[in-house]
Amino acid sequence: MSTISKYLLLLFSAILQVSFFNHISVYGYVPNFFLILLVALIFTESPSQFEAPYFAFFAGVIWDLLFAAKFGVCTILFFLLALALKRLREAFEPGFWFYLVFILVFFASYFALEPLMLGYNFQNLFQANNFARLGTNFAINFFCTLGAFIIMDYGFGFIRNKATF
């Protein structure tokens, strides 16, 4: 797939996520296909290139513009996480558990910062239903991404190193 197609795919998936997928929910909880696609894209890029941080930056900008009430949080978060992933993959050859922890960190930090993106104040944040919603969305997206990762890894062989699974 060409690089420009990947950028267009990210843009298209973000638009679909805020419109189509946002209304196809299970009891109000929506898997975020845009974030899952972003994780898949940055995993499949070679660590020797700077493409993954560019994808993450672009995705952050789109998500900040389309979804977040405050601009900047997603852009910085996605870029830093993709950059950290690139640096770590340059330093050693990671296996399954590394990717698992990365997915966990990615979604934990995203959903921890979501109240900031949406402009919640402290009173709103500590309402029980907000915590429950964030926690459930985190769990749904984590397991969806994990499923996608396992399909990518074993079904299509996108991730080269599978030794430690």
Partner 1 sequence: MVASSQTNKYLFLLGIFLVLYTFQSPIRSAFIFATSPLQVTGTFLASSVNGSLNYFFNAGNFQRENGILRLKIASLEAELAQLQEIRRENESLREGMQLNLQKKLNVISAKTILKNPQTDTLLVNKGEIHGVLKGMAVITPENILIGRVGEVYSSYSSVDMISNTSFPLFNAKVATSGLEVVVRGKGNGLMGLEFAPADKAFHEGDILVSTLTGGIFPEGLLVGKISKFKKNDTDPVPTVEVSSDYRFTGSDYVFLVAPK
Torsion sign over Cα 116, 119, 123, 126: negative
Contact between 131 and partner 1 by CB under 8 A: the answer reads no
* HSE (side-chain half, CA atoms, 13 Å) at 144: 18
For residues 24 and 46, what is the distance between their CA atoms, to the nearest angstrom?
34
Contact between 19 and partner 1 by CB under 8 A: the answer reads yes
For residues 11 and 111, what is the distance between their CA atoms, to the nearest angstrom?
21
Residue choice 1, 2, 5, 24 for contact with partner 1 (CB under 8 A): 24
Q: Which residues pair with 29 in a beta bridge?
A: 26
Contact between 91 and partner 1 by CB under 8 A: the answer reads no
Contact between 13 and partner 1 by CB under 8 A: the answer reads no
Contact between 116 and partner 1 by CB under 8 A: the answer reads no
Identify which of 69, 66, 45 has the alpha carbon closest to the alpha carbon of residue 55. 45
Contacts with partner 1 by CB under 8 A: the residue count is 38
Residue choice 40, 96, 100, 130 for contact with partner 1 (CB under 8 A): 130
For residues 138 and 112, what is the distance between their CA atoms, to the nearest angstrom?
9
Contact between 18 and partner 1 by CB under 8 A: the answer reads yes
Shortest reach from residue 91's CB to partner 1, in Å: 16
Contact between 133 and partner 1 by CB under 8 A: the answer reads yes
Binding mask 38-67 for partner 1 (x = CB under 8 A): ------------x--xx--x---x--xxxx
DSSP H helices in the chain: 3-16, 22-23, 33-44, 51-66, 73-91, 96-117, 122-125, 128-150
Output 58 or 149, the one with its CB closest to partner 1: 58
Positions in the binding site for partner 1 (CB under 8 A): 12, 15-16, 18-25, 28, 30, 50, 53-54, 57, 61, 64-67, 69, 71-72, 75-76, 79, 118-121, 124, 127, 129-130, 133, 137
